[in-house]
Amino acid sequence: NVEMLYDKDVQTNYLADKTIAFIGYGAQGHAQANNLRDSGYNVIIGIRPGKSFDNAKIDGFDVYPVAEAAKKADWIQMLTPDEVMADVYKKEVADNLEPGNILGFSHGFNIHYKEIVPPANVDVVMMAPKGPGNLCRRTYKEGFGVPALYATYQDYSGHAEDLSKEFAKGNGAARAGLLETTFKEETEEDLFGEQNVLMGGVTALIETGFEVLTEAGYSPQLAYFEVEHEMKLICDLIYEGGFNKMYADCSNTSEYGSYVVGPKVIGKESKQAMKDALKRIQNGEFAREFMDDYRAGFPELYKLRERSANSQLSQVGAELRSHMPFVKDADKYSTPAE
């Protein structure tokens, strides 16, 4: 059991006179930079020319090339995509670190797998929100926040942990709750969750259900509604009140079928596959495979992305959603510019 911390538990003030540079202004960079600025901190942005650069300007930040922002800042928060982070760090950040600076992350990947090896004279910390960037920003503006993990990998200053907690509080995360973790734990759990359950597991489940129905002659439209559209409605109930609420709101027929059939579908074989996936995360094989694909120009990622985007399920879904404007509401939070 780990202790949850809330706003009142974070009372130190080491962050107040620091300049915080966000390297990257995408999903997380946009959310964290705006939240910390609204909380009264001194925020600058380090980014290459392009869409994010323009968005940061529109939002009224002082925007610099990465190297210059890293030089000006005390806290350098690394929020580029994980695969490019080590290149950006080596080329533009490493030489601009000064003793006592803070190198911050929102995912432990690069530190844990030693893609980035920081010098000994800086703090290395993490603040990882447990939610997508647009939700972090929206909930902050609503006076709330999404919970976050914080971790210390290297404590040079002697108060690295307090700094990461203040950073999380500035993001609004301590209103929802802060949980301590380690870079290793956060990295391995995050990769496991997205591969096996949240994204990999769910999409494979939907896709397979869709295939079984359509191959048996059921209409693709009906199959889409049954196995994909309804997924959100079920997930909302689970989110609100766990399995109990979901079962209470559904029919006895569906509840009985769920108990009896679910474990046959996700049975021993799936559990073994999850264990194998966890082992490949723990021994670094997955990270190596992913970084090798990146360094080769992402041939595998792009091939799989195209296959997914062009599947019958994707096409049927896109057509049906075009007649349901109400399901698109969530999109209004997905543009980085305020």
Q: Which residues are catalytic?
A: 107
> Could you tell me the CA-to-CA distances from 329 to 144, 171, 247, 324 in Å, in that order?
20, 24, 27, 10
* Closer residue to Mg ion, CB minimum distance, 194 or 236: 194
Closest CA to 115 of 243, 279, 232, 288: 288
H helices of the chain, in order, are 27-38, 51-58, 66-72, 82-88, 109-112, 133-141, 160-170, 173-176, 183-192, 200-215, 220-224, 230-249, 252-265, 268-282, 285-295, 299-309, 312-321
- Based on the shown chain and the rule CB under 5 A, indicate whether residue 92 belongs to the binding site for Mg ion: no
- 190 touching Mg ion, by CB under 5 A: yes
Q: Is 226 annotated as a binding residue?
A: yes
209 annotated to bind ligand: no
Cα angle vertex 135, ends 39, 207, to 5°?
160
Judge whether 318 is annotated as a binding position. no
| Cα angle: 80, vertex 84, 88; to 5 degrees | 80
Is residue 138 involved in binding ligand NDP (CB under 6 A)?
Answer: no
Single out the segment in contact with Mg ion by CB under 5 A; choices: 136-144, 188-196, 208-216, 280-288: 188-196
Report which residue's Cβ sits closest to ligand NDP.
26
Residue in 62, 67, 83, 132 binding ligand NDP, rule: CB under 6 A: 132
In the window 34-53, what residues touch ligand NDP (CB under 6 A)? 47-48, 50-52
Distance, first Cα to last Cα, the chain: 38
Question: 194 a known binding residue?
Answer: yes
Which residues participate in the annotated binding site for Mg(2+)?
A: 190, 194, 226, 230
Residue ranges binding ligand NDP (CB under 6 A): 24-29, 47-48, 50-52, 66, 79-82, 84, 88, 106-107, 128-129, 132-133
The binding site for NADP(+) comprises: 25-28, 48, 52, 133
Q: Which residues are annotated as a binding site for substrate?
A: 251
